[in-house]
Amino acid sequence: MIEKLIKIQQNLKAPKNQHNSFGNYNYRSCEDIFEAVKPLLEEENLTLRLNDELVQVGDRYYIKATAILTDGTETIENTSYAREEETKKGMDGSQITGASSSYARKYALNGLFLIDDVKDSDTTNGALEPTKEDAKNWMFTFGKHNGETMDQVINEDLQYVEWFISQKASDYDKKCYELLTGVQLPTEEEAREKIKLLDEFNKLVIETDTDTDEIYEYYKVKGNADMTIKQLQEAISVMKKKVK
């Protein structure tokens, strides 16, 4: 079963057949994925179905979509969530639910078949400045914390959230993280500067035989990665004097 799924993942080509004229970008819909995967399912004698479920998290409702791949004996599933907007201009309640269902189904399929939509504009539609409420309702739709809010996981598994923020997060995700933690994330320029300073710091530690524990104790940090740019600059300045 796994071998069949891997083969489909390797061979699936789902083109972006839809076009948003306002944002001037192309994107793929659930239907585009269905049409692309149907011949591959037939070749492997597999069946694909999708289930929707309405779930409540706090005072908000989410559509939980599950993509189920089966050969009649074994099954492989992937689940994704989409929050229902309370109101949306030009849509009634049924249309809002339908839009949330389509979104959740698409990303359940993306996860199952390893379709990368990170660069699609439809993954970032909506307000780019989340509110505190948006941040509290932000939910993981993949991985070991699938279905849990970021707020929950920060309290239970902060290391996982920090990994996500550093590796996979969009700007919107990072802003939600900042709202929830009060931590101001570095800009890309600041991140590059810090990498450069860390490299210089490490070289000077070796060259000057500096006891890093004393530095970390002075700045009340666990390691050089926890030091701010200003702290790194200060420590580097002190070590450079030793070289002279």
Evaluate if residue 38 carries a pLDDT over 50: yes
- pLDDT at 27 (0 to 100): 79
> Three-state secondary structure along 173-195?
HHHHHHHHHCCCCCCHHHHHHHH
Evaluate if residue 33 carries a pLDDT over 80: yes
> Which residue did the predictor score with more confidence, 230 or 16?
230
- pLDDT at 92 (0 to 100): 45
Parallel/antiparallel/unpaired status of strands 18-20 and 25-27: antiparallel
- pLDDT at 93 (0 to 100): 45
pTM exceeds cut of 0.75: no
Evaluate if residue 101 carries a pLDDT over 90: no
Evaluate if residue 87 carries a pLDDT over 80: no
Q: Which residues contact 21 (CB under 8 A, 6 or more apart)?
A: none
Share of the chain above pLDDT 90, in %: 31
- Domains in the chain: ranges and CATH: 1-123 (3.30.390), 126-185 (no CATH), 188-243 (no CATH)
- pLDDT at 25 (0 to 100): 66
Q: Average pLDDT, stretch 83-99?
A: 51
- Distance, CA of 120 to CA of 136 (rounded, Å): 24
Reported as a single tens digit per residue, the pLDDT across 174-226 is 888 999 998 888 777 887 888 899 999 999 999 999 999 999 999 998 888 88
Phi–psi pair at 36, nearest 5 degrees: -75, -30
Q: Average pLDDT, stretch 135-159?
A: 85
- pLDDT at 22 (0 to 100): 53
Q: Average pLDDT, stretch 64-70?
A: 91
* H or E stretch at 81: strand 75-83
Q: Where does the pLDDT of residue 56 fall: very low under 50, low under 70, confident under 90, or very high at 90 and above?
A: confident
Evaluate if residue 123 carries a pLDDT over 50: no
- pLDDT at 20 (0 to 100): 64
Q: Is 52 exposed, middle or buried (0-12, 13-18, 19+ CB in 10 A)?
A: middle
Residue type at 72? G
Q: Average pLDDT, stretch 83-105?
A: 59
Give the Å distances, CA to CA, from 40 to 9, 19, 109, 139, 152. 10, 25, 14, 31, 39
Between the ranges 38-42, 51-55, 105-109, 146-150, where is the mean pLDDT highest?
Answer: 38-42
- pLDDT at 127 (0 to 100): 40
